[in-house]
Amino acid sequence: MRYYDKLIFELSRPGRSGFSLPEAEGGMPREGRLWRSAPAGLPEVSEPDVVRHYTNLSQMNFGVDTGFYPLGSCTMKYNPKINEEIASMPGFTGQHPLQPEESVRGTKAVYEELDRALAAITGMKHFTFRPCAGAHGELTGLMLMKEYHLGRGDLARTKVIVPDSAHGTNPASAACCGYEIVVVKSNSDGLVDVEALKPLLGPDIAGIMLTNPNTLGLFEKDIREIAALVHDCGGLLYYDGANMNPLLGVVRPGDMGFDILHLNLHKTFSTPHGGGGPGSGPVGVSERVLPYLDVPRVSGFNGNFTVMLRALAYILMLGRENIRMAGRLATLNANYVKESLKDCYKLPVPSVCKHEFVFDGLLEPNGTTTLDVAKRLLDYGFHAPTIYFPLLFHQAIMIEPTETESPETLDAFIDVMRKIAVEARTNPELLHSAPRTAPIGRPDETKAARQPILKYEA
Ligand SMILES: *Cc1c(COP(=O)(O)O)cnc(C)c1O
C-alpha cells in the first residue's frame, strides 16, 4: 500500500492544519448558540495532504478524460470542454427557478432553441424538458401514452409490447406506469420478429416500445411495417432514443412513424455522465400526442438546465453537416472494431451494425469468461465494455466506441483485445487473476451495490 492510499483520517494529526489566521480582535467567543458542543471530527491535515488526498481519489476512477471507454449502450463520448465553460456561465447558474419570466429571457430562448433543434433532428413536434434521466423520460412518455388513450375514451388498452432485446428500463417503466408487459421475440437476425408481433396486436395494446438501432446495434429495417401494424391496431409507438447517436442527421424517428420518444441528452448530446448524474431525458411527441404534452412547456423547474446548455452548445457547434458526421463516424468506428476482432470473439449476429455491437465471449475461451476479459482490459488501461447485457447471450460483450475516438486509439484497443484472446489460450491464469493494477480487484458486485461502506469508522 502506498502512503497516500491511506484514508485522510489516518493521515490526521492533532492540531495540524493548512491555514493560520490571527485571533479575532477581542478573542473568539467560545460558547453560545452557534458554538458546537463537540468538535466536528474532521481530519487535521496540512494543505498538501488535502490536495494529494483528493487528487489521488480522482485517479482511482476511470473516465472519458483518462482513457478509452467503450461502454455499450452508454455512449461515453468525449465531451468538449467548451460546453463545460458555457454550462458554468454565471448568468445561467445564478438563476432561481422562481425568478419572473421577463428576467430569464435568455434561458427561455435556450429551451426554445433546443426544442427547435431536437424537433428538427427527431421529426417530433415539441419536447418537454422536465424529465431528468432516460428512465424518467420513459415514464413521462408512457404516461402521455396513457393520457392519449384515456383522452379518447379508450379504456381497454392495458398492455405494452417490448422486444426481448430491450433495455431493462423499458419494461420497468411500463410496469411502473401500470401496464402489463408483453414480450415480442427477436428473429435470428437480431431484429423484431414481425410475424411474432402480428398475433400480439389487438384492442388491449396501448403501444410498443422500441429502440432503433436496437440493443444489439442493429437497425430495425422493418420499422415502417411495424409502425403501420401498431397504428392499425390503435396503439402508439414509443421510441427509446437514449442512443440516438448513429441516426443523427441520417434518419428521424418521426419519419419512421414514432409518436413519443425520449432522448438522453447526457449520452447523445455531450455532458459527462455515469455515477448517477446529472441527466436530462426530454420527451418529444408527434402531432397526435401534442395535446397531452404538459404546458407551459417552458417554465421554472424544467429539469437539469445545464445539461441542456451543453446539448445546445454541442448541436450548434457541430451544425447541420457535422452532426451527420457524428452518426456516421460512430457507425464506422463500431464496424471497424467488430470486423477487426471477429476472428477472436464470437459474433452471434454478423450483419452491419450501427453505433455498437455485441460479441458472445471469446471464440476459444479455454475456461475464461467475459468477466475475465473485462477485468484484464483494465490492466491494459482501457475501460471494460458493457458485459452480460443484453441478456440474449450468456457471455455478452457490448462494445460502443463512439465517434470521438481516433483510428490509433481503436487500433490500440483492438491490439489489446487480440492479445487477451492469446493470453486466454496460453495463460488463462493471467485473466482469472486480473486486474492486477486497479485499486480494487473483484468486489462482490451485489454487496458493493446493496451494502456499500461509505464512511470511515476507526
Ligand atoms: C441509458 C439508457 C436508458 C436509461 O437512461 P438513464 O438516463 O440511465 O435513465 C434507457 N434506454 C437505453 C437504450 C439506454 O441506453
- SS3 of residue 359 by DSSP: strand
- Closest residue by Cα to atom 5, ligand 1, is 134
Q: For a substitution probing ligand 1, which of 71, 73, 244, 280 has the most ligand atoms within 8 Å of its CB?
A: 73
Of ligand 1's listed atoms, the one at least distance from the Cα of 279 is: 7
Decide if pLDDT at 295 tops 80.
no
Tens digits of per-residue pLDDT, 152-166?
A: 999 999 999 999 989
Instruction: Name which residue sits closest to atom 15 of ligand 1, judged by CA.
Output: 73
Could you report the per-residue pLDDT of 35-93, keeping only the tens digit for each?
888 888 899 999 999 999 999 888 888 889 899 999 999 999 999 999 999 999 999 99
Query: 237: closest CA among 213, 256, 252, 221?
Result: 256
Q: What is the pTM for the complete model shown? A: 0.89
Q: Distance between CA atoms of 360 and 380, rounded to whole angstroms?
A: 21
The neighbouring-strand residues paired with 128 are: 283
pLDDT above 70 (res 458): no
Among the atoms of ligand 1, which is closest to the Cα of residue 281?
Answer: 7
What are the start-end ranges of the E strands in 62-203?
126-128, 159-163, 180-184
Which is the closest atom of ligand 1 to the Cα of 133? 7
Q: Tell me, using a 6 A CB cutoff, whether residue 171 lines ligand 1.
A: no
Closest by Cα among 145, 115, 124, 116 to 256: 124
Average pLDDT, the chain: 93
Cell numbers linked to 438: 486497479
Report the pLDDT value the prediction gives residue 58, as an integer from 0 to 100: 86
Evaluate: CB of 306 within 6 angstroms of ligand 1: no
Query: Residue with the nearest Cα to atom 3 of ligand 1?
Result: 134
Asked if the model's pLDDT at residue 299 lies above 70, the reply is no
Give, using CA atoms, the residue closest to atom 14 of ligand 1: 242
**pLDDT tens per residue across span 354-397:** 999 999 999 999 999 999 999 999 999 999 999 999 888 999 99
- Give the cell for residue 334: 463500431
The DSSP-derived string for 417-433 is: HHHHHHHHHH-HHHHHT
**At 276, is the pLDDT very low, low, confident or very high (cuts 50, 70, 90)?**
low
Per-residue pLDDT tens digits for 10-41:
999 999 998 888 888 887 777 788 888 888 88
Q: Is 323 in the pocket of ligand 1 (CB under 6 A)?
A: no
Give the Å distance between the CA of 104 and the centre of ligand 1: 31
pLDDT tens digits along 94-116:
998 888 989 999 999 999 999 99
Q: Which atom of ligand 1 is nearest to the CA of 215?
A: 13
Closest to 83 measured CA to CA, from 305, 271, 325: 271
Q: Which ligand 1 atom minimizes the distance to the CA of 266?
A: 7
Q: How far is the CA of 18 from the centre of ligand 1 (A)?
A: 43
Q: What ligand 1 atom has the least distance to the C-alpha of 267?
A: 1
